[in-house]
Structure 1
Amino acid sequence: MEFSGKVPTRKLGPGGPEVPVFALGSWNIWDRMEAEDRLALMRRAVDAGSAFFDVAYYNMGPHAEASRTDLLFGEAIRELGLARSDYQLCGKLWLWEYPQTGFAGQMDVSLERIGAGAGGPESFDTIVVGDFMGDIDIAQVVRDVQAEIDRGSFTSWGVNNWPTESLRLALATAAAEGLTPPSFAQLKYGLVRRSMAEGEFYGRWFDEGTLALQASDAFEGGILVGKLSPQRKIGADVGGIRERIVAAYPEVQRIAASFDATPAQLGIAFCLANPATANVLFGASSVRQFDDNLGAIPLLERVGAQGIREAAAELWLDREVRADGVWAPPVA
């Protein structure tokens, strides 16, 4: 199933930018390929109208790994000679060491590493404030985010894995003080993990249009596209259901084959079948993978959102996870 047009766009929540429904994620994807392949993949994304890149400096908390993925991304941007209008950037602000490590410093380091002042971008389009752990002064977080918006670091923001009460307080603080509220949530979401996005936790805000959904880790670190024993570090197994996910892969294959599609196309089409989804963040590491993923667009058009969801109904494996709407520390 091939797609040769331009990737469609959706709004990344109220106040957010118009973005392509495909987004390339950065958790070590740029250092999983050779330089030639990086350049080819980024050029293909630009040509397909899908140049939305999630790029972060991973050197805090559990991510203190001295990753070079953002450095390599910046080098590729400069080597390709891309104009800033050719692509969109989604950055990260980490809460692991906040407020000791403030947002201004984090933004300065992130931008410097991807080439600000040396032909690279001078700002992000949007950012995610993520990896919520511990007792955080949420009202101050909203104020500090606003300070970075006023400084020109980015224009909109989203959240990742925030407890219900914290998100409610952030929205209330923004409304009461005339500050910029979060416009989207980046969440684990896909064929097998749906409770956080479709349940009581975030579902209310998606249903009423307060937030848009940015779906991430839809392939469970590659398991749902056939890499059943990942050799690299992948996302946390929240709820301890990974063995069940591995066991479900043959059913994913069967359903995809029934639509004359690949598992990757099915997984992305499922995410986009949810009207709350603004875009799907994935970690393709080759033009071939990217082009295969593009086939999700004609698949969704041909089968329809209802048909996709009905076919995949029994793949929902985390129905009981976070049923009470409380974020629990990830199971490693």
Structure 2
Amino acid sequence: MTEFDPKDMEYRFLGNTGLRVSILSYGGWLTVKEDSERITKECFEEAWKHGVNFFDTAEVYANGECETVFGKVFKELGWTRSDYVVSTKLYFGFGEKSPNGRGLSRKHLIEGMDKSLKRLQMDYVDVVFAHRPDREGVPMEEVVRAFTQIIQDGKAIYWATSEWSAFEIEHAHHIATKYGLIAPIAEQPQYNMFHRNRFEAEYYPLYQLYKYGTTVWSPLAGGVLTGKYNDGFAPGTRFGDASNPVVQRGRSRLESAEGKAMIEKVKKLTPIAEELGCTTAQLALAFLLKNTNVSTIITGSTRAEQVKENMGALQVYKKLTDEHIEKIEQILDNKPDYLKLY
């Protein structure tokens, strides 16, 4: 592929707001851990060079260390604060045995926000997400009031949701309207070629009613769409360490009939990627970018070279034709039907 031009980056509004975010962004879910400041700084610089302006973390990532590393790196880089967008997420807490150390109670949200800002060394974040819905009895009114207070206190500019159902998001909007509170602006859902129904069908009314924004995670289906598991589990890949119980569960899924079918589809996508002069990973990212309901795709990396490769999807996205999309859909054979869902 040709050398990347920063002008290739596009920016979309995050939901029904004036906040513009790069359509590819950077997140630290599995890639930012302890003692990773140097690597994180290199990845930040590479992402920034390519026009990325949105960086995502959470209180639970690496038990708070991700926020700490992010904060240190932002300080070292010295970028103008108004030039970049930072989001964090509250719900899971970390390490606290107290029953109030997690969830969406007003207590945890207010205290958790203060702790996150301290680790990030920031006065505010641009977006704070409710990392999961709280289905253990916390009233929705309490949740919406707490996030409204966080925003009114100047600790966040917007709030959003992550892995909430369409009904729960609608409920939050209803409460906000009823009591004159601040409604969420965006959802952070899993979305990739193999995980499409919620994003494309269940959330469809939200896009129409609220222009609800989206910050997509797991766009490569845990690495499956890179093609690195086409011939097994090589050492050094996410599923290469069979001794890890979490890894073993992931391997078992790929070794199932469903997992094998996914890998076969990745193999069939390879000729399309080759025709476009790209990797299957870049093709997978470009396919999502064709959906205008995607505000930004959160990408992760452990090396600056991976950041650069991910950015190549911007060129592929512009080259994808209706014919390419039709070929991809025939291979995937999983396009959601909105009308059947409702």
Do these two structures clear the TM 0.5 threshold for a shared fold by scoring above it?
yes
Matched, 1:72 2:69: yes
Distance 2:54 2:205 in 1: 27
What is the aligned partner in structure 2 of residue 91 from structure 1?
A: 88
What is the aligned partner in structure 2 of residue 169 from structure 1?
A: 171
Out of 145-154 and 208-217, give the one that drifted further. Answer: 208-217
User: How far is 1:307 from its partner?
Assistant: 4.1
Report SS of the residue matched to 2:87: strand
Alignment of 1:113-152 (within 5 A): 113-115=119-121, 121-135=122-136, 136-152=138-154
TM-score (norm 2): 0.81
Q: 1:5 to 1:113 in 2, by over 3 A?
A: same
Report SS of the residue matched to 2:155: coil
Structure 2: gaps (5+ residues): 93-101
User: How far is 1:49 from its partner?
Assistant: 2.0
What is the aligned partner in structure 1 of residue 49 from structure 2?
A: 47
Contact 2:13-2:295 at 8 Å conserved across structures: yes
Distance 1:114 1:67 in 2: 10
User: How far is 1:34 from its partner?
Assistant: 4.6
Q: 1:241 to 1:78 in 2, by over 3 A?
A: farther
Q: 1:32 to 1:318 in 2, by over 3 A?
A: farther
Contact 2:16-2:185 at 8 Å conserved across structures: yes
RMSD between superposed Cα atoms in Å = 2.8
Deviations 1:43-83 (A, max 9, x none): 12222221311011117xxxxx6352222222222222233
Q: 1:308 to 1:69 in 2, by over 3 A?
A: farther
Percent of counterpart pairs with the same letter?
24
State the one-letter code of the partner of 2:189. Answer: L
Q: 1:143 to 1:45 in 2, by over 3 A?
A: same
User: How far is 1:241 from its partner?
Assistant: 4.8
Distance 2:110 2:70 in 1: 21
Distance 2:324 2:11 in 1: 20
Q: 1:171 to 1:106 in 2, by over 3 A?
A: same
What is the aligned partner in structure 2 of residue 222 from structure 1?
A: 223
User: How far is 1:242 from its partner?
Assistant: 4.2
| Aligned with 2:277 (options 222, 246, 260) | 260
Distance 1:133 1:318 in 2: 30
State the one-letter code of the partner of 1:297. Answer: L
What is the aligned partner in structure 2 of residue 106 from structure 1?
A: 112
**Greater helix share, 1 or 2?**
2
Report SS of the residue matched to 2:295: strand
Alignment of 1:1-332 (within 5 A): 1=1, 2-6=3-7, 7-15=9-17, 17-31=19-33, 34-58=36-60, 66=63, 68-94=65-91, 96-99=102-105, 101-115=107-121, 121-135=122-136, 136-199=138-201, 201-228=202-229, 229=233, 230-231=238-239, 241-304=258-321, 306-313=322-329, 314-315=331-332, 317=334
Q: 1:35 to 1:148 in 2, by over 3 A?
A: closer
Larger radius of gyration: 2
State the one-letter code of the partner of 1:109. Answer: K
Q: 1:210 to 1:85 in 2, by over 3 A?
A: closer
Report SS of the residue matched to 1:73: helix
Contact 1:15-1:156 at 8 Å conserved across structures: no
Distance 1:302 1:227 in 2: 24
User: How far is 1:316 from its partner?
Assistant: 5.1
Q: 1:133 to 1:310 in 2, by over 3 A?
A: farther
Contact 2:58-2:64 at 8 Å conserved across structures: no
Q: 1:163 to 1:73 in 2, by over 3 A?
A: same
Contact 2:131-2:162 at 8 Å conserved across structures: yes
Structure 1: gaps (5+ residues): 60-64, 116-120, 326-332
Report SS of the residue matched to 1:156: strand
Contact 1:187-1:197 at 8 Å conserved across structures: yes
Ranked by relative contact order (alpha carbons within 8 Å, sequence separation 6 or more), the top structure is 1
Contact 2:36-2:69 at 8 Å conserved across structures: no
